[in-house]
A and B are shown apart, each in its own frame.
Chain A
Amino acid sequence: MTEYLVVKFPKPRKVLLNGVPKGNTNELLPLEAGKYTVSLEPPPDFKPPAQDIDLGNTSAEHPQEVVFN
């Protein structure tokens, strides 16, 4: 069961899932379902610093979106 996540941020940046780099911002990230802590690689010019998500019930056309400003 693949779920889909898109982490939105104005700049290209590595996405951190549970603290580990896993793909890039604004890309479709196929992942296993469940809970993750999402953040971005430094510089820490984004808000909020991290977001907890529960990934599920998505499709490639309707991914779960997490936005950083």
Chain B
Amino acid sequence: MTTRKSKTLIIILLLLLIHVVACAQYPLNQQSDAPFDKQAGYRFEHLKPGPYKKTDNLFICLAFSGGGTRAAALAYGVMQELRRTRIRVDGEEKSLLDEVDVISSVSGGSFTAAYYGSFGERLFTDFRTKFLERNIQGALLARVLNPVNLARVASPWFGRIDLAAELYDREIFEGATFAQLEKNGRPFVILNATNLGPGRRFEFTQEYFDAMGSRLDQYPVARAVAASSAFPFLLTPLSLKNYPLAKGYEPPWWYAGAEEPKDWFTRRYDAAKNLDFYKDKKNGYVHLMDGGLADNIGVRALLDAYAHGFIQQKILDGDIKRLVFIVVNARTEGEDRLSAKARPPGIITVAEKTATTAMDNYSFESVAQLRSELYSRVQAQMDITAANRRLARYCPGAPKFAEPQMVDMYVVEVNFKAVEFIGEDPRYYLDLPTTFCLSKEQIEKLVTIGPKLLNASPQYRCLLKVLQAEAEGWPRPKDCPAGAGIMGN
């Protein structure tokens, strides 16, 4: 009798297990159920300026790099400092943070960006306890080892990333969807991931979802953050469905004429090919991993917006007079212990270097490219202005050169490498691990060093001086000429 009961119990448990495995399926993104509307959804052009009467006159973009909790804490410290920094724009006093229009983020930095986008000022009251000071890795591990979840992750349609997304959704993002980000208005938060198929950057914006015939508004922010921070091997990819295009779909304005074979080497051609991946419905699914695989600094989304997206539009419309990029780079760099040894490094060291060296170099080049593109524009502005001034003086009747919209530009980088220039030891920060579990002391040091590095940046100091001079009606400070906001003075 007892044996029969035990067998029945085992059969019931097995059936339950089969049921749990069979039912485990990652939540799908929704298909667009209405004709295409380029004014709807989570896109910059459609967002309200937000609660702080942001002016486009001063247009601030933040880029938050990857690097686990280290990156999230550094970004948090910088945001705290921007919030403390008072400015006067168009006669109104506000904080620099109030003027932030865009945040592009990767991996660990995406937690800070998405939390601010979802809850605004609440970032400064509960984000430390809800995320920064928590052992997120431990919480994830506990969920994975839960017997029910062990059965769920045995399903090929449900992975560790889906467990992570559930945790983030319940305990950090409280069920927020992109509709909430849209309702909150600016800053426009671009959460970056990597599409494993073509190996390209992917962003959780309606423009990307348009090409997937999908709507982003009902998609949980936590899943986007999970994709952005899905560290390879520890977490599994997060998948989206690529639906047929909505009726009346129109690609972005720059797409027409972009794929001329002779232009194969240009960024515009490359961007068009990226869009083609989603338009090609043979690619039925999009499998995403950590945004750091494609761009670990979050700058590429901003470069695209500057080259042919919403930043370019605002410049051409004459709305932006001052354009500021603040790049928060939590990159670390282990001490070089290899070069002093005669013996070549072992396979583990080589594997680690192989995984990180290219990514680090690419991050460096991304910021260098941002500086270079903005500086060449400033030089062109200065050349045209100088030429017209000389023409007016020496040849008043001659036609003038056509002038572009004049924009004052800044690129500020917060980077642990600069710690030595403020008289502190950079090794402490450069040796911090990439993890979702740091001590309270480590968090405190990161939150404190961010503002110090920001205020030590010559480009940032120039920005503050120029803003103050403008507010007071003073001439532009002589030690901050045009271009000093990019290359320093």
Contact = CB atoms under 8 A, between A and B. Distances in A.
Interface of A: 1-2, 4, 6, 17-24, 26-30, 32-37, 54, 59-61, 63
Contacts of B380: 2, 4, 28, 30, 59-60
B377 interface: yes
Interface of B: 253-254, 256-258, 260, 263, 266-269, 307-308, 312-313, 316-318, 373, 376-377, 380, 383-384, 387, 401-405
Contacts of A6: 402
B253 A27 contact: no
B402 A28 contact: yes
Nearest to B380: A60
Contacts of B373: 2
B384 A30 contact: no
Residue picked from A17, A30, A36, A59, most chain B C-beta under 10 Å: A30
Contacts of B403: 27-28
Top 5 nearest A-B pairs (CB, nearest first) are A35-B257, A60-B380, A23-B316, A20-B253, A28-B404
A19 B250 CA distance: 12
A36 B266 CA distance: 15
A60 B383 contact: yes
A4 B404 CA distance: 9
26 contacts: A1-B267, A18-B254, A18-B257, A20-B253, A22-B253, A22-B313, A22-B316, A23-B317, A23-B405, A26-B402, A27-B405, A28-B380, A28-B401, A28-B402, A28-B404, A29-B404, A30-B377, A30-B380, A33-B268, A35-B257, A35-B258, A36-B257, A54-B260, A59-B380, A60-B404, A61-B384
Contacts of A60: 380, 383-384, 401, 404
A1 B377 CA distance: 11
Nearest to A53: B257
B254 A32 contact: yes
A63 B387 CA distance: 15
Given A26-B402, A32-B266, A61 B383 contact: yes
A34 B253 contact: no
A21 B170 CA distance: 43
B312 to A, nearest CB: 8
Given A26-B402, A28-B403, A18 B256 contact: yes
B260 A35 contact: yes
A61 B387 contact: yes
Contacts of B268: 32-34
A22 to B, nearest CB: 5
Contacts of A28: 380, 384, 401-404
